[in-house]
Structure 1
Amino acid sequence: MAYTRIHAVKATVQKALKYICNPEKTDGQILIDSFACGIETAHYDFMDALSKSSGVGNKLAFHLIQSFAPGEVDFDMAHQVGRELADKLLENKYSYVIATHIDKEHCHNHIIFCAVDNVEHKKYNDCKRTYRQIRNLSDELCREHGLSVIIPSGQKGKTHYEWQMAKAGTSWKAQMKSDMDNAIREAHSYEDFISRMQTKGYVVKGETFGDNALKYLSFSASGQTRFTRVSEKNFGVGYTKESIRERIEKRIRAQEKFPVKKKFPFPKRPDAKRTLIDTDQEKFQENGALKHWADIQNLKIAAASYAEGGSVEELKQKILERSAVAKEARSAIVDLEHEMKAKAEILKYAKQYMENRKYQRGYEKAKDQDAYFRSHETQIILFGGAENMLKRYGVKMASLDVEKMQVEYDAMTAQKAKLKKTYQTAEKEAMEADKQLKNIRQYLGIERDKKESTKQRKQQDVTL
């Protein structure tokens, strides 16, 4: 599994880059890579991009850390996953340096990327939404490489005893939290919340505010010998009496500002897109009327699946065809992304070369080259870095055409969007056909027989 966290670099970009590129931590700088910037000149590349954007603020770069569980990955695999994460997240727009540190028992990647992109010169939006994107992309890559994935909960951690009680359904703390949530959701004021908790059978202490009031609100359920403090330590963020009052008042203000409109029923889901009801469950076996209703629903679902999808053989063929289209589109997207990454880097260096060429020529013609260099150090270093990278890619300076390269890159972006739409459509159609096939097979007893034979085979294996 991989843990991720990100923070802004506000004043020490050069120091941060120096830290992550430490040879002692990166196997002699073998496990270091960069995109759209030189490893040695990344600070200058970042400053150049920042100078082209207005309203950057004090966030000059972002430092993303991706840590793996001890022993789960080797150095090369960790570095590869980190590079793929940076490429998917930053979409070939932002300059970045990635370094994999191996000085601790767990491998971890450091990715420092510029706060402004090289294409539209827009600032990276660091917020909860983009962090969820980082989390999801990291988990997706872990799955692709056969690594474990962290299952997010968003809840305050429990002790092992509390976890056991919650699992068994006997946790008084879990029940208290649920009752508080319901009371907060229904209460018209903080006082109404307290009243509702008392109605549920709780004894209340410390509910008042003021200098002489108790610091914590506490509840005691029936059968409890001690009071339980309502605090962030016990229940998580948002569970103090001040926070509860604020949550209720915020909800009331929102309801007054945006009154709840009359709800219209959602359109009924087409039968062909529904999943067959499993009537083997105990509740259906004990209730004849409920089973009769479920049998009728299953007949509707199976009939609709057959009418929309066709026979079993037709559905099998459709799944094969749409899966093949999705696989081909996905493969084309991956190949195109690799090509776009190289093209984006060349385009960035081509622009950088053209923008700073006049400073290099001025330096060559200057009478006092030392003085000229001191005045235009950043531009001359950027020119040299861009020239070296373009030569490495085999680009001839004499025939450099930035506008043509931009048109080609834009065409590749449009092609990627088209392929992505094809992939998503084919994947969706394949999944729908697969659901219809399972509905028909299960209704005809084919799927059930298959499950029974698998179950019997497993039992035989256990017996042997």
Structure 2
Amino acid sequence: MAITKCLHMKQAKTGYPAKHLANGLRYIMNPEKTEHGRYVCGHNCIPEQALSQMVDTKRHFGKLDKRQGYHFILSFEEDEVSEEEAFQVVGEFVAEFLGKDFEAVYAVHNDTDHIHGHIIFNSVRCTTGYKYDYKNGDWENIIQPLTNRICREHGLSVLDLEEAKEKRKQKGQEEKSLSERDRRIRRDVDQALQDAGSYEEFLENLSSMGYELRGRKRLSVREPGAGRARRLDQLGEEYTEERLRQRFGRLPIPEMTGEEIPVEWTYVFIPYRERHLTRYQKECFLRRYRQGKPMADSKTWKYRAAIHELKKLQEEFDFLAAYRIQDKAQLKAISDATKEQLWENSRARKQLRKEMVPYEEILLLLNKLQEKQMEAELYQEGYQEFFQDHQTYQNLLGQLKEMGYSLSEAEQTDAYFFEKEEHLRIEWKKILKEKRIAERLREKAEEKENLEAQQKEKNRKPSARGRGKGG
């Protein structure tokens, strides 16, 4: 059985318009996934020249903008088909579905447990110049039935379309039910952005709101107690990591291979239990224990404020246990110490910024090089339309060399400052958290003392009146 998934590739917002199309073609023709190109084939084009041919078609008909191409994925059942047969099935699908109208490249990947085929085709017909128009209902009425028929001819199992339609319908209803959740997350994200001066502060604000942050490549957030996380880039074009960082005027920093930055974890402790529980299970256990009964409603994200208060109580418990707090004097001493530590951290950050000043031009050149790196690599692979970008990249490398730095040295410099900045940021966050907890506990202790004093005063007054009447 093969299931067909349909995707499309938009025009890139910056740089080369067909960048996503170029990335997609390069991905599906990856030698490590295709037995060194054995399972790669072109349709109405040569695979190695597919991008240039597709762009030439767009240019010829004056349709270089907007949607650039389409990406279909045919996923087969595990151990049901060999690479050769899957390649034949995908090829027959391409020949019948695209015919002579579209340039396409198709490939079969065998790097996962499930053999799957990829098809990328131009958005513009090479015969008439008309664009491919995907309509609602095409998948269940045309695309998947064609896949089923070809699979049946090869003796493979087929997808039950009625069952698939019902699942798609249920998924659509679930997405509608999540629309309110998406709006709520967007409001919180907008508020966190408004209150932040940098991308790192924005992440801290989200955490302080009670969100759990996930994902290294794509940022996802999960409300306390919610079953699944929500990717921010699925909330709209303005919520991708790139666009969020641009709001602070700072481009994404490349992933490093140097010293590992410590991961920040959140722990919840449950005493008197030897059984291992996940963090989510611990949160549920504590919440239900304090309420005295299980919650009937599984949508626990509605109770975000209550769970946030629960986490604060757990933080305070851990803090008291870690520092063995006995009285308010200890809390005041810790609070004063954290103020001094924050001042030292702030001074270290200012010193780091001063250190960066002589390197600003180098780091700026590095950012420009990173923006053109992909286009330069594509030109070296034979895509002549990236010649101008390649020239720009070489000129930037020349400027860097005139300053006495190689590209690797510039990247090492950037990595050095990033590591120091990230360590200081994590240290600042940890100190600030301890300061807030200490001050919060002091306020609670003072409030408790005041209440006890008031209660003693109330208890003393009636007894005094009682003695007066007796005399």
Q: TM-score, normalised by structure 1?
A: 0.34
